[in-house]
Amino acid sequence: MNGMFETLTQLGAADDFRSNRGASPSLDQGSTKSRYLKSSNLEPWLRVQALNVNRHAAALRLFRHDEFGTDPASPSDAHIDAVNKLMTQLRSQLQEISRRVSSSAQAAIQQPDTVLLQQLMTRKDRAHEWVRSIEQIWDFYFELFGQRQTRFGNWLLAADRIALDCYQVVYMGLGVTKSIPAPAPFSYMKTGFSPATFRRGIPLSKLSQQINPFPLIQLPYHRLVNPWTLGAILHEVSHNLQTDLNLRQVIPRAIAQRLLKAGMSQFVAATWTRWHSEIFADMSGLLLGGPYIVASLMDIAARSPESTLHYSPGAPHPIPFLRVFISTYLLHRMGFPEAANNYRRIWQRLYLKERAGNIPLEILETFSQANQLVVDTICFTRYDELGGKTLAEVTGFKPQHQQMIQEAGQRLAAGNDPGIIPERFLIGASRAALNKQQAEPGVITQNFYKALARR
């Protein structure tokens, strides 16, 4: 670096560009500069800087519709088009930055003074930041779409079809016409303890804070291998439904007003309001899938007493110990009192001393009343966003649906076609077959995915 600066100084560049930057170099200066560029390999190095940026930008291509297969498990054209639209917007900005890098490189070749060389480095640095950001997005979707070419493709297709079924039943049940959300949710597998979702239309750190174009349902492998635990799909889809139905601001406001009107303290009202999204997802998932979804929830919430009875200030999830009781109360109101009582007794047997944890006394003392008010507010209150209907009316789970689930469980266990049963009910059917030991777990799993893949 010092040698280059000294050489440029000897060329008169430093003095020339400080005092007479606009003046044309003399013939001797131009000749000396030309000899320097050739002898130092500076000119080819500068050309390569622009070349690298432009080639890197060009490599971040759009995805082809047939790139990840053409079978039913493959990403739909709508999903690929949505990602390509996002990539096109980002690449157009990168291409403009790349043009500036090329322009700076040419200017530095013509006049290799420190000012122009550093301008090139600054623009190159900015271009690489853009490249890295877009590459992160490209890699994210490349991995997601690529999973559909693995042996897990049909598992993810099954999750997609369950999620789509949830959307269809809700939008068909609304009391008002709403614009159809598109594309549908897209499922992918990721290691970890808990499922997750990334809602449509929000900026994601995984996407360098760009807007997520469609709902993403993230499922751990250990859930996919045990389909009777996939009540998680209904829960995660319900987060997206709350957003797409414009209930994300309405529900917490209604909860706060209801609790304060009932004489609850600001602390109690604020706590339940903070839990609104997770409670909505639990309630909606139960209304979509029926009683066996409570068992799936208990799979998640049943941990050590230290974990299940732990209150975390500011956490968006209800206390796990209370979370199950919220669902059993809804289950009772849905017309399944026996199942609700059975799950409640199991839960109470597991955790005999609720004061063993750090749950605030005020939350425990007001729980029964607050629970009833919150469940009623979410599930049995009419909203304009639902066309004047309640969430329970929109989802419409009935006792006869549970009979369908039981019969489908027998068919799954026997390896027979479960029939016209909605996709979301097959989660409960797999649990029914497992509980009654009608087939080995591996057989139930195989038949569950086979039934969903061939639809």
- Domain boundaries along the sequence of the chain: 41-149, 150-226+236-245, 400-453
Question: How do residues 288-321 score in pLDDT, each as one tens digit?
Answer: 999 999 999 999 999 999 999 999 999 999 999 9
Specify the pLDDT at position 203.
Answer: 83
Residue 166 in this model has a pLDDT that exceeds 90: yes
Higher pLDDT, 33 or 84: 84
Question: How do residues 192-232 score in pLDDT, each as one tens digit?
Answer: 667 888 888 888 877 778 888 999 999 999 999 999 999 99
| Residue type at 337 in one-letter notation | P
